[in-house]
Structure 1
């Protein structure tokens, strides 16, 4: 599957010409530059590309270049006859032209140019159509269309009345989309045009050169007025172009563009060394690491990083170009599929313009405003949006913090404080010094801050931290995975006497059909109740909350917990309140009962698993839930801890010290909140209207209908949750993977695919079983034009799509996984 990314070659300087408006002289500027480059660089190739053109051939811009810039190779990739906007021309021609087709054709053209430019720096000028935000043939904005290539930009300003605003608006539109605008050209009005002199050049020159921008603006002589006689008009233009070749302002443009090309290359090539000398990386053992281990990222777009190619793998052409180009020069950038979704944050793709616009709007409307005693629309609106999205009638209050770990710290404070205040136990211990503990699951992980670190069993993340105490009891549990085409609920050997041998299902939906699994439910309930009685009544432990990652336990090892076990655990706690305290059996069904139930949905929530809330898979509703990552679509850090009214009321008091004393300076920062609202809006659209989502759901649809359980909004029953269980990863591919001898198990749900490789050494988190596969997936870029950047958890390698990934891209990733295995 061909994919093209940012284009950067040492031997080819590609420059994209954008216009602040229509009829501002883009083609005139392109012609001047083409002629000047030919004159200045004797023997160097100069080329011109017009990706999309409308109107008759005799008026085409590439023909203008051919007539007035002799020796310049001129190409038009897609031509429409109607002299109207490209989206109208494509519609009139009945010829749909997808954005990907244009970008791939332009990339292939640039690659072809680079292949023929080995001896010295050559130039290719790419001229856009109309204004910066004019529609492309598909109807999308052309600034978005060409963004995957991220070519440096020369902006042609507007010299006419209103041109100052048009030029600045065009510049800001490009900047907010991640382009580098290296310079601006404005045609200056001379004495012959005194009646049209608006001073645009003088103003723009000063505005663009202010601190923080430092973008040079060059004023060029205005071309002659169009003559009614075509021959005379051509003669006038030829004289104009001949006079412009050696003008200092033109030479300055060429010098600046080449200088910026060299600077960009030096910047990205120096990143690994500079980072190696200064950066302390998270989750990284630095001993033995070198700068060669550091991935330099020039930019990112959609599902892909654009990374500096390793020297040893940068000399091959992409597979799609091999037939026509056999001697491509080194490509400095390689697209890598971001298979960790940038540590699980990406929901709407890198460089998403709607998220960037939301952030910019909030930044310029508010900046940051303190939140302790105020309210602003983005913050209040986002909480209302989250309440509606989650659909949990228990959750009525939202508390802002900055990241997932902190959101769980807040949840822990909420839950334990609510339990202790209702039961009359203060400060975590009673008179005998008994400690209030939490209940959880083995293999859980809730963050790296000290409080929630104690909510996980001893492991690689916490056991070497001297303050760690491990304040809890963690249930072992059955897990879910596919092997040899069958979905299996696997029970740990130590629990088979109590829980049975597990189950086998043809469809993943069968695992989630909780109503149909009554025998398993009874065994689970008996085991959980007996275990709780042993821990509480016989061992004297006291528990103040259940903390659990619903369905998928992420950083602990990508464990797919049996949803029936998790649902039964919640149900058993709520059905036996007297086991925990005589004060934990309220009459209101929406109040917490037994223990406050805390769900950590930082990873699994907000459509990660294909639904707005992972809790819905269990048919139960938590009293507290933590949300981050996809909450803001992958752009800004922000988290929300949602709580019920009864949890909120536990902190009401005449004493300030009884309040939830937690916060940080950037609480509810408007940019994050506004981006969160836009993220939820876009994700909701995908759920309702996404074409790929619909295809994936049909792919995973079970062949049989399953029963509907009782209404679970009160959180007391075990409802059937088997409908709408799907993944964006191909059902056929997952089944095929599960049959491999080197694969222990595999699972897919929502946007996540996890593959557990056979590890004969049994070394767990420190396993190197996945290292070879990880390297091969990266190396795919050298041969096939793009590769896969993945993260591993011991012998588990996982692949995560964004919620905007396409079936075509994911099919390519699946092919690479299979090939690399």
Structure 2
């Protein structure tokens, strides 16, 4: 199988490239291209001019590149794919011997651009076929096929009846997909005067419009020579017009300005921008990545070398802080956002409802598979969603156990969690985590709780193990070895193991000491299920988390003066409310839609963000049980959950989230990840009937094993789309620089792309997206192995 083409955006210092789109079929794209090519030769006589038609249909002797060759012979003209049948490309392609994919066609265009850029200075016009949304050979829309190239657009408007609407619709379709509109060109028509209306319309958007007289009509008799003579005269006149010459000169000016702006962005950012999670001391403009656009798994980043300035594809290896899953600039999500923005903008949510918010709530409650959940509370992002969840849990516990009296006496209520966990950067969310590099300089930080150390799952030298924390073998038992990762996650079979009993004993003894001996009060258990993200991509033994949840739920007498627990069913919480922080681990990031499926236990409250909206806009959903909701019912307003944000349940975010969730569910159900799952199926040591709970990774087991044998590698973790490599270091942790060398090596352009990544101390991680192709992941694997070997 050939490697997937990774196409970069088209921008070269030596080559001004533009895409000619038509508002409709038959609007004169080729005629306008011929005029502009002629004007370019006149305006820049020392430069080359190229014309490219990627796809054409119809007889060869009627091809558009032939028209350019006849009437602009100085222009180098070419068609990449010519179908002989004069029909839409998607129909003509049905009879072709080989199927042409969008990626393959973009790769051909990229090669042609590179050939042109390697020659003299010049301009390239790339003319599309038909209208903006005319089908490609694969059946996709042209607007989506060419989008990754990010070529500035010359839009040929429609001068005919209905052309105003067609031209504006074409512009909006391109604009919403992130195209830059350089200019609009249109023929003049005395009857309809579309060009006058469109001139005013586009002037309000700072887009220039060039209008020209139409070409001479065909002669009444079949006088081919006379027609060609009249067209040659027409082209000569049009290409010499001052307005046309000014237009092509303006294109050259805008090209230079675009390069200059990209060149200046990093220095300007260095002067004015305060970056998150960044120590700016020693930072230079050269260390700042300039992103011109993004598509799929890749940024298009600007390279400002001394000899060449261009855009290069750079893999978004951190999934833009774990938010991406459906690809950058996903047109489905962009259209969903535009629809909601056009219909609602933002509307007040308290005491109101709109369709996107209700539909998303229903969708989440249906698909989380948690019978406890009945209520959805919306907020701005993962951190605020956690604050909401903690408020819910603490209030419910305080109301049931009378903790408000303790509060009045100055006794503080805390949470239970895991060491290394992190739940966000707002102060309340930070207080749910133990002291760390993230919060040690935050003056209001006051860690409120107890955090259990825990056994970790990792691969070492080709073997999956569950390793106890250093020095805690007596509490957790010795290191356990497993034949496969699936065996580690077969928690039902492990429930009766010696490890489970040791876990339970350790948890009970710790709780008893904290509550009965030290007199501490707790109001919630908050966990990142399965994997701790900011803590270093730590894979927790699922049996430990499962045992922790079940032990706390069965320990009602520890937290209550009454030894009789409330009536229990699938919706009532006991012991303490359990909060799952699924901001990072949820929404198929680790495989299943909810990581609860891998634990076999459900929370009372769960928090969702990041992949919830496919990384397009911020939104969080805190989902809670009816028992939690009931704790806020009362006669006073102060009894209510007094929490909210100006943009609570903003319609744009809710609509995008609904679209994102539906697409993730479709991918899960359609078998889109089967090629990734297949290599892991042969490693199962038992039959897992729960398909939602099956364990697999996009990273191949052979690759994971190979990396784990590297001498500089301490261990490897791979689950779902996440790969984490822990490098050996005498001083591991967030302050370590052990992973910087690997990060730097992978950032360099190789195999057609660079890899941008973040590190967590001595942990290097890479994250694929839910739509990343198998070949791309395998090429990343090769790059990682090469960097480790180098």
Q: Deviations over 1:58-79 (max 9, x none)?
A: 0100111111111211111111
- The residue number in structure 2 matching 1:550 is 529
1:574 matches 2:541: no
- The residue number in structure 2 matching 1:218 is 210
| Equivalent position to 1:694, from 655, 674, 687 | 674
Superposition pairs of residues 127-138 of structure 1, within 5 angstroms: 127-138=127-138
- The residue number in structure 2 matching 1:96 is 99
* In structure 1, distance between residues paired with 2:646 and 2:513: 44
* In structure 2, distance between residues paired with 1:481 and 1:28: 63
* In structure 1, distance between residues paired with 2:523 and 2:687: 35
Indicate if the aligned counterparts of 1:513 and 1:722 stay in contact, CA closer than 8 A. Answer: no
- The residue number in structure 2 matching 1:28 is 31
Please give the secondary structure, in 1, of the residue aligned with 2:471: helix
Indicate if the aligned counterparts of 2:688 and 2:694 stay in contact, CA closer than 8 A. Answer: no
* In structure 2, distance between residues paired with 1:60 and 1:664: 58
- The residue number in structure 1 matching 2:400 is 422
Superposition pairs of residues 100-249 of structure 1, within 5 angstroms: 100-117=103-120, 121-189=121-189, 194=190, 197-210=191-204, 213-227=205-219, 228-249=222-243
| Equivalent position to 2:507, from 515, 528, 546 | 528
- The residue number in structure 2 matching 1:68 is 71
Indicate if the aligned counterparts of 2:397 and 2:523 stay in contact, CA closer than 8 A. Answer: yes
- The residue number in structure 1 matching 2:317 is 339
| Equivalent position to 1:296, from 286, 290, 294 | 290
- The residue number in structure 2 matching 1:791 is 758
- The residue number in structure 1 matching 2:464 is 487
Shift of 1:690: 4.4
Superposition pairs of residues 629-708 of structure 1, within 5 angstroms: 629-691=610-672, 693-704=673-684, 706=686
TM-score (norm 2): 0.97
Shift of 1:135: 0.5
Q: Is 263-272 or 792-801 further displaced after alignment?
A: 263-272
Please give the secondary structure, in 2, of the residue aligned with 1:461: coil
Superposition pairs of residues 464-483 of structure 1, within 5 angstroms: 464-483=441-460
Please give the secondary structure, in 2, of the residue aligned with 1:368: coil
Q: Deviations over 1:162-183 (max 9, x none)?
A: 0000000000100111110110
Shift of 1:232: 2.2
Indicate if the aligned counterparts of 1:305 and 1:338 stay in contact, CA closer than 8 A. Answer: yes
1:265 matches 2:259: yes
Distance 1:243 1:427, change over 3 A: farther
* In structure 1, distance between residues paired with 2:69 and 2:692: 64
* In structure 1, distance between residues paired with 2:483 and 2:304: 44
Shift of 1:331: 4.2
Q: Deviations over 1:144-191 (max 9, x none)?
A: 0011111111000000000000000000100111110110000112xx
Indicate if the aligned counterparts of 2:597 and 2:692 stay in contact, CA closer than 8 A. Answer: no
Please give the secondary structure, in 2, of the residue aligned with 1:477: coil
Please give the secondary structure, in 2, of the residue aligned with 1:292: helix
Shift of 1:703: 4.1
Indicate if the aligned counterparts of 1:509 and 1:723 stay in contact, CA closer than 8 A. Answer: no
Indicate if the aligned counterparts of 2:296 and 2:327 stay in contact, CA closer than 8 A. Answer: yes
Shift of 1:25: 0.4
Please give the secondary structure, in 1, of the residue aligned with 2:332: helix
Please give the secondary structure, in 2, of the residue aligned with 1:111: helix
Shift of 1:721: 8.8
1:11 matches 2:14: yes
Q: Deviations over 1:559-610 (max 9, x none)?
A: 1100000000001011221111145822131200000000000100111111
Please give the secondary structure, in 2, of the residue aligned with 1:494: coil
Q: Deviations over 1:791-811 (max 9, x none)?
A: 000000110111111112112
Shift of 1:286: 1.1
- The residue number in structure 2 matching 1:54 is 57
Shift of 1:99: 0.3
1:815 matches 2:782: yes
Indicate if the aligned counterparts of 2:457 and 2:717 stay in contact, CA closer than 8 A. Answer: yes
Q: Is 269-278 or 21-30 further displaced after alignment?
A: 269-278
Superposition pairs of residues 796-807 of structure 1, within 5 angstroms: 796-807=763-774
Indicate if the aligned counterparts of 2:43 and 2:249 stay in contact, CA closer than 8 A. Answer: no
* In structure 2, distance between residues paired with 1:262 and 1:183: 16
* In structure 1, distance between residues paired with 2:597 and 2:565: 24
Distance 1:707 1:89, change over 3 A: closer
- The residue number in structure 2 matching 1:378 is 356
* In structure 1, distance between residues paired with 2:97 and 2:218: 34
Distance 1:441 1:706, change over 3 A: same
Unaligned ranges ≥5, structure 1? 316-329, 710-719
| Equivalent position to 1:726, from 672, 696, 699 | 696
* In structure 2, distance between residues paired with 1:703 and 1:152: 50
| Equivalent position to 2:278, from 284, 296, 311 | 284
Shift of 1:29: 0.6
Shift of 1:704: 4.1
Unaligned ranges ≥5, structure 2? none
Shift of 1:83: 0.5
Indicate if the aligned counterparts of 1:188 and 1:220 stay in contact, CA closer than 8 A. Answer: yes
Q: Deviations over 1:399-428 (max 9, x none)?
A: 110011100000110000000001122176
Please give the secondary structure, in 2, of the residue aligned with 1:245: helix
* In structure 1, distance between residues paired with 2:566 and 2:430: 31
Shift of 1:289: 1.3
- The residue number in structure 1 matching 2:45 is 42
Indicate if the aligned counterparts of 2:523 and 2:576 stay in contact, CA closer than 8 A. Answer: yes
Distance 1:76 1:697, change over 3 A: same
* In structure 2, distance between residues paired with 1:653 and 1:444: 34
- The residue number in structure 1 matching 2:378 is 400
TM-score (norm 1): 0.93
- The residue number in structure 2 matching 1:364 is 342
* In structure 2, distance between residues paired with 1:93 and 1:787: 35
Distance 1:292 1:112, change over 3 A: same
- Kindly report the root-mean-square deviation, in angstroms, between the aligned alpha carbons of the 2 structures: 1.5
Indicate if the aligned counterparts of 2:486 and 2:684 stay in contact, CA closer than 8 A. Answer: no
* In structure 1, distance between residues paired with 2:683 and 2:334: 42
Q: Deviations over 1:478-525 (max 9, x none)?
A: 001111111111111322112211311121101001122222211111
Please give the secondary structure, in 2, of the residue aligned with 1:560: strand
* In structure 2, distance between residues paired with 1:376 and 1:437: 37
| Equivalent position to 1:440, from 396, 408, 417 | 417
- The residue number in structure 1 matching 2:712 is 742
1:513 matches 2:516: no
Indicate if the aligned counterparts of 2:11 and 2:311 stay in contact, CA closer than 8 A. Answer: yes
- The residue number in structure 2 matching 1:765 is 734
Shift of 1:763: 4.1
Indicate if the aligned counterparts of 1:509 and 1:722 stay in contact, CA closer than 8 A. Answer: no
Q: Is 664-673 or 241-250 further displaced after alignment?
A: 241-250
Distance 1:244 1:690, change over 3 A: farther
Please give the secondary structure, in 1, of the residue aligned with 2:725: strand
Distance 1:721 1:572, change over 3 A: farther
Q: How many residues of Structure 1 are paired with residues of Structure 2 in the alignment?
A: 779
